Amino acid sequence: MVSLFERRSLPGTEMLRAERRRVWQGRAIALALLVVSSAITTSAAAQGTHFIAEGTFGVSMPLGIETDQVGMSIGATAGFGGKVPGSLLRMYALAQFNGSQFSILREDLALERTLMELSGGGRVLFPLTSNLRLYADALLGLSWLTSEERSMSGRPVFVEDVEPRMSFTSALGIQFRPLIFLSVGAKTSFLFLLDDSYLPAEDISGCLNILGSVTLHF
């Protein structure tokens, strides 16, 4: 059986270019996170710093392939921030981990995909009432994609860990805060691989997550 994931080796020059591109991507992420963190820290210092710890769980749909099956997603977010002076807005600096897993059935193969993301960025929160808030997140980071094929009998056919790739995540959510230290809510997030070159065939280029959330406030 010929694997769906056969791909050609990169010529030496292209491998060098890919490595240089990843170095510059890492520097761009570090600079962006430094700017966001500096702005939010300044805002928080003016109004008092607040910390959040958030857990999410829900369903995930892969992007870039055709499938009618959904996977699962789980994540954790930590952040700090505060009220923007002279405004109702709150801003937070975020660090986030998220993992999504998918099972994709084909005629004679079961395809497993695991997408792990580690990222940082910011959140802007707007209070609608004293207990209800809307927020938007934007994060840059790295994602690791593990691809696995199994025969219908369960025998492994192919396993590959793809090198980390730069990714962008955006999210829109709503929170209800019944207690001073607790919020519950829901959000929709999109994760896109910014560099999807040289991915094996039948691989995903990102995911759409629909998540419930529980947030602790300190």
pLDDT in tens, 154-189: 666 666 767 788 999 999 999 999 998 899 999 999
Select, from the ranges 22-26, 30-34, 71-75, 201-205, the one with the highest average predicted confidence (pLDDT).
Answer: 71-75
What's residue 72's pLDDT?
94
pLDDT in tens, 77-109: 999 998 888 888 999 999 999 999 987 776 677
Select, from the ranges 7-11, 54-58, 128-132, the one with the highest average predicted confidence (pLDDT).
Answer: 54-58
Q: What is the mean pLDDT of the chain?
A: 79
Select, from the ranges 15-19, 88-92, 210-214, the one with the highest average predicted confidence (pLDDT).
Answer: 210-214
The residue-averaged pLDDT of 206-210 equals 92
Q: Which of 82, 80, 84, 89 is nearest to 48 (CA)?
A: 82
The phi, psi pair for 41, rounded to 5°, reads -60, -40
What's residue 147's pLDDT?
78
Answer yes or no: pTM beyond 0.95.
no
Domains within the chain, CATH numbers bracketed: 12-217 (2.40.160.20)
**Using CA atoms, how far apart are residues 176 and 185, in angstroms rounded to an integer?**
6
